[in-house]
């Protein structure tokens, strides 16, 4: 039984995550007021959509970089290669959180200037900003896989057979031999996206509240957590240390903040466990 | 090159700040000094708004912006008398001095967390690896297993006591996991009523344990250990009878002290080779960890909203649209990232030369 569980840890944790969220949703339906529950639902869905879009954009950007890499190497255009390296290094040198914050400032300008006013476009823009600062992890992995296979005989053998480098890299290396590695990386990117998004939303709701309140940003878990009633709920946890029996009240009276915090932490923990289980199953 | 770009933006913003400030203020002051508008009077305010909308019917949003700019200007003037320093646009010597102090404090906290996490990552990774080799199962699994093997009538108390111990350990472990994965602001607000969360000591503690950094990188270290232990040369050493016992004991096996010491050494044990080679691989990810730590530290300082810290100042400068100061802080942080990169590369280079049997 133990072997079977350890072999399918990723699936087990995926079901645990879904089950945990369903359980807390049912609990909230019973004990939490309706408007707060609707907000949490909206915040969770928006957070999930943004994080999922981050995965899509990051994968796309990383793949584009690899295509440019291959093309530039073939035509030996040093200027483009230098420019690309410079842009990537610049993005890597700026801490993710600062880059994303700068992106949010840009977004508020776009919203106030009426350049972006559609809810879906705002969500896509947020995903785009976050993916700009996380996609390099996928680029690194893709480059690592390509370098690994380039050292082996199979790359030279295929080249000699007249198969184009573009096909070898994209189909034979990335698609046929690195799919599992990439999927594992994408799971962890999902966790990183949730973390960064919640953190930035929390920061701007706490620190830039007067500026942002003029702008209508989508409701997310981070933003909801920064609300005064949610923060008070989290502060109430401290009371348990003085009065352990207060824990019962936490799950009934302070449900809004506790639910949001739990959703964030549980999603981060689950994505870590799923990614770990997945790499254990495929021995990555 | 990046420095040149950032300094260029800084100088441009500094120049533009002055121009924009002069232009906006002269426009707003012309309205405020007109004599017939008293912006403090709500009636005057409404009449002024309607007049603007009448003369500029297609620019309603701009009219609203002008009104809010007037109110903001008034509020700013009031704030200026309360807090002159806050409303300074651009960079002057006094602000620079204050920011430099915060920058040094940021570096000090960053270095302490970096050293502690460097130790923590390796210690947790090694401890998990040894526990795995000792075939220790998770407490939850032990609890379930224990429940499945009910004893006869004898020893019932001991049986229940043991079950409770397993369950308590499983709950504590789960709680620790939740803390390790919690974003810093969740942990900080949970303890805010009990602990002074604005002290540098708490900041260091948060930096080490929260935001998932410790658990993520210790897991990476653990994975490297597992991969290394499967390699042929290790199997060969085990076959040749090198010490391979992972029980905690003073002679033979693993010394508990060695696991928790800063310079971990396991002389005569096969684990020494596994550990040395893993540490070399870990150095390649150290840059990544340091970069994540900087992001994490910025999140902590910004989210906790504590005055006197660099990232809080950065947020405030962005809030008050003093972008030239904000860009200067970003440049400072960029230098920390680059300095860490260079140090990590140097450490890796040193280690590589050792492996290649070259003199350093």
Q: ipTM, 2 decimals?
A: 0.84
Q: Which residues in chain B have Cβ-Cβ distances shorter than 8 Å to A261? A: 182, 186
How far B1 CA lies from chain A's nearest CA (Å)? 8
State the Cα–Cα distance between residues B73 and B39, nearest whole angstrom. 11
How far A175 CA lies from chain B's nearest CA (Å)? 24
Higher-confidence position of A58 and B66:
A58
State the Cα–Cα distance between residues B236 and B135, nearest whole angstrom. 22
State the Cα–Cα distance between residues A208 and A223, nearest whole angstrom. 11
Angle subtended by helix axes B270-303 and B232-239, to nearest 10: 140
Task: Determine, for residues B2 and A206 on separate chains, whether the beta-carbon distance falls below 8 Å.
Answer: no
Q: Is the CB of A26 inside 8 Å of chain B's CB atoms?
A: no
Q: Which residues in chain A have Cβ-Cβ distances shorter than 8 Å to B316? A: 207
Residue B124's pLDDT is 93
What separation, in Å, do the N-terminal and C-terminal C-alpha atoms of chain B show? 30
State the Cα–Cα distance between residues B138 and B22, nearest whole angstrom. 67
| B205 within 8 A of B109, measured Cβ to Cβ | no
Handedness of CA B16, B19, B22, B27 (dihedral sign): negative
In chain A, the number of structural domains is 1
Q: What is the CATH number of the domain that holds A43?
A: 1.10.3720.10
Q: What is the mean pLDDT of chain A?
A: 86
Residue A138's pLDDT is 93
Report the DSSP beta bridge partners of residue B248: B254
Task: Determine, for residues A268 and B223 on separate chains, whether the beta-carbon distance falls below 8 Å.
Answer: no
Q: Quick one: which of B267, B278, B270 has its CA closest to B351?
A: B278
CB neighbourhood size of B265 (10 A): 11
For residue A245, the 8-state DSSP code is G
CB neighbourhood size of B273 (10 A): 17
| B311 within 8 A of B185, measured Cβ to Cβ | no
Which residue range(s) make up the domain with A192? 2-281
> Average pLDDT for residues A129-134, to the nearest whole number?
93
Task: Determine, for residues B189 and A264 on separate chains, whether the beta-carbon distance falls below 8 Å.
Answer: no
How far A212 CA lies from chain B's nearest CA (Å)? 10
Report residue A3 as tokens: 């072997």
State the Cα–Cα distance between residues A58 and A60, nearest whole angstrom. 5
How far A97 CA lies from chain B's nearest CA (Å)? 6
Higher-confidence position of A113 and B239:
B239
Q: Tell me the CA distances in angstroms from B146 to B91, B137, B200, one per residue in order.
A: 67, 12, 44
State the Cα–Cα distance between residues A74 and A168, nearest whole angstrom. 14
Specify the 3-state DSSP secondary structure of B243. Answer: strand
Q: Reply yes or no on whether the pLDDT at A156 is more than 90.
A: no
Handedness of CA B180, B169, A278, A48 (dihedral sign): negative
Residue B119's pLDDT is 94
Taking only the tens place, the pLDDT of each residue in A213-234 is: 556 788 899 888 888 888 888 8
Q: Which residues in chain B have Cβ-Cβ distances shorter than 8 Å to A108? A: none
> Average pLDDT for residues A236-243, to the nearest whole number?
82
Task: Determine, for residues A95 and B315 on separate chains, whether the beta-carbon distance falls below 8 Å.
Answer: no
Report the DSSP beta bridge partners of residue B269: B243
Q: Which residues in chain A have Cβ-Cβ distances shorter than 8 Å to B194? A: 238, 241-242
Residue A193's pLDDT is 94
State the Cα–Cα distance between residues B126 and B223, nearest whole angstrom. 10
The residue ranges of chain B whose pLDDT is under 50 are 360
Q: Is the CB of A105 inside 8 Å of chain B's CB atoms?
A: yes
Q: Which residues in chain A have Cβ-Cβ distances shorter than 8 Å to B5? A: 90
Residue B17's pLDDT is 63
Residue A192's pLDDT is 92
Residue A162: phi and psi, rounded to 5, are: 90, 10
Q: Quick one: which of B90, B46, B54 has its CA closest to B71?
A: B46
Taking only the tens place, the pLDDT of each residue in B138-187 is: 888 888 888 887 776 667 788 888 889 989 998 898 888 888 989 988 88
Of B212, B223, B305, the CB nearest to A268: B212
Residue A83's pLDDT is 83
The burial class, CB within 10 Å (0-12 / 13-18 / 19+), for B72 is: middle
Q: Tell me the CA distances in angstroms from A127 to A58, A119, A165, A192, one per residue in order.
A: 9, 13, 32, 12
How far A122 CA lies from chain B's nearest CA (Å)? 21
How far B342 CA lies from chain A's nearest CA (Å)? 12
Q: Quick one: which of B153, B164, B113, B138 has its CA closest to B297?
A: B113
Higher-confidence position of A154 and B71:
A154
Q: Quick one: which of A262, A218, A245, A272 has its CA closest to A21?
A: A262
Q: Which residues in chain A have Cβ-Cβ distances shorter than 8 Å to B330? A: 94, 98
Residue B27's pLDDT is 64
Residue B83's pLDDT is 53
Task: Determine, for residues A202 and B183 on separate chains, whether the beta-carbon distance falls below 8 Å.
Answer: yes
Task: Determine, for residues A231 and B337 on separate chains, whether the beta-carbon distance falls below 8 Å.
Answer: no
Specify the 3-state DSSP secondary structure of A268. Answer: helix
Q: Quick one: which of B318, B328, B317 has its CA closest to B7?
A: B328
Name the one residue in this structure whose structure tokens are 């981060």. Answer: A268
Task: Determine, for residues B298 and A86 on separate chains, whether the beta-carbon distance falls below 8 Å.
Answer: no
Task: Determine, for residues B186 and A234 on separate chains, whether the beta-carbon distance falls below 8 Å.
Answer: yes
> Average pLDDT for residues A126-149, to the nearest whole number?
92
Q: Is the CB of A86 inside 8 Å of chain B's CB atoms?
A: yes
Q: Is the CB of A118 inside 8 Å of chain B's CB atoms?
A: no
For residue B160, the 8-state DSSP code is H
How far A64 CA lies from chain B's nearest CA (Å)? 22
Q: Reply yes or no on whether the pLDDT at A212 is more than 60.
A: no
């Amino acid at each position: 039984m133990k072997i079977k569980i350890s072999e399918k840890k990723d699936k087990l944790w995926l079901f645990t995550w879904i089950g945990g969220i369903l359980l807390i949703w049912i609990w909230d339906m019973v004990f939490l007021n309706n408007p707060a529950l609707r907000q949490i639902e909206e915040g969770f869905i928006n957070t999930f959509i943004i994080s999922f879009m981050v995965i899509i954009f990051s994968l796309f950007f990383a793949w584009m970089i690899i295509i440019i890499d291959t093309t530039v190497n073939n035509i030996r255009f040093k200027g483009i290669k230098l420019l690309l390296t410079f842009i990537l290094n610049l993005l890597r040198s700026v801490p993710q959180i600062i880059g994303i914050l700068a992106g949010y400032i840009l977004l508020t300008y776009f919203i106030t200037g009426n350049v972006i006013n559609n809810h879906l476009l705002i969500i896509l823009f947020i995903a785009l900003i976050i993916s700009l600062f996380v996609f390099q992890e996928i680029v690194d992995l893709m480059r690592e896989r390509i370098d690994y296979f380039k050292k082996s005989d199979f790359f030279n053998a295929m080249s000699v057979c007249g198969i184009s480098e573009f096909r070898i890299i994209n189909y034979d290396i990335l698609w046929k031999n690195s799919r599992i590695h990439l999927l594992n990386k994408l799971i962890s990117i999902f966790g990183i996206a949730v973390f960064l998004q919640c953190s930035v939303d929390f920061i701007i709701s706490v620190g830039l509240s007067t500026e942002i309140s003029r702008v209508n940003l989508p409701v997310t878990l981070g933003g909801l957590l920064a609300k005064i009633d949610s923060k008070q709920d989290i502060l109430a946890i401290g009371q348990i240390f003085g009065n352990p029996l207060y824990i019962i009240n936490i799950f009934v009276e302070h449900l809004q903040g506790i639910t949001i915090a739990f959703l964030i932490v549980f999603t981060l923990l689950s994505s870590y466990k799923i990614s770990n289980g997945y790499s254990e199953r495929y021995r990555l | 090159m990046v420095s040149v770009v950032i300094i260029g933006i800084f100088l441009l913003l500094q120049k533009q700040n002055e121009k924009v400030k002069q232009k906006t203020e002269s426009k707003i002051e012309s309205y405020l000094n007109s004599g017939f508008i008293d912006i403090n009077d709500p009636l005057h305010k409404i009449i002024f708004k309607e007049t603007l909308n009448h003369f500029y019917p297609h620019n309603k949003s701009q009219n609203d912006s002008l009104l809010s700019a007037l109110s903001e200007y008034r509020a700013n003037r009031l704030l200026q008398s309360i807090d002159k320093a806050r409303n300074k646009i651009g960079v002057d010597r006094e602000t620079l001095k204050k920011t430099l102090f915060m920058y040094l404090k940021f570096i000090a906290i960053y270095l302490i967390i970096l050293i502690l996490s460097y130790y923590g990552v390796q210690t947790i990774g090694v401890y998990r690896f040894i526990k795995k080799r000792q075939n220790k199962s998770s407490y939850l699994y032990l609890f379930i297993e224990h429940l499945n093997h009910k004893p006869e009538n004898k020893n019932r108390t001991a049986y229940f006591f043991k079950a409770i111990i397993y369950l308590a350990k499983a709950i504590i472990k789960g709680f620790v996991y939740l803390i390790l994965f919690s974003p810093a602001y969740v942990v900080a607000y949970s303890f805010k009523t009990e602990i002074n969360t604005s002290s540098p000591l708490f900041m260091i503690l948060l930096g080490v344990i929260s935001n998932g950094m410790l658990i993520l990188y210790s897991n990476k270290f653990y994975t490297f250990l597992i991969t290394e232990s499967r390699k042929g040369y290790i199997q060969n050493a085990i076959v040749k009878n090198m010490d391979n016992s992972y029980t905690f004991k003073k002679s033979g096996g693993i010394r508990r002290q060695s696991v928790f010491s800063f310079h971990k050494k396991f002389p005569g044990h096969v684990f020494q080779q596994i550990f040395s080679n893993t540490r070399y691989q870990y150095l390649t990810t150290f840059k990544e960890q340091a970069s994540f730590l900087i992001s994490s530290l910025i999140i902590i300082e910004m989210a906790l909203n504590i005055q006197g810290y660099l990232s809080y100042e950065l947020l405030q400068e962005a809030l008050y649209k003093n972008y030239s100061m904000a860009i200067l802080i970003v440049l400072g942080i960029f230098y920390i990232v680059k300095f860490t990169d260079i140090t990590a590369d140097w450490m890796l280079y040193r280690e590589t030369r050792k492996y290649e049997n070259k003199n350093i």
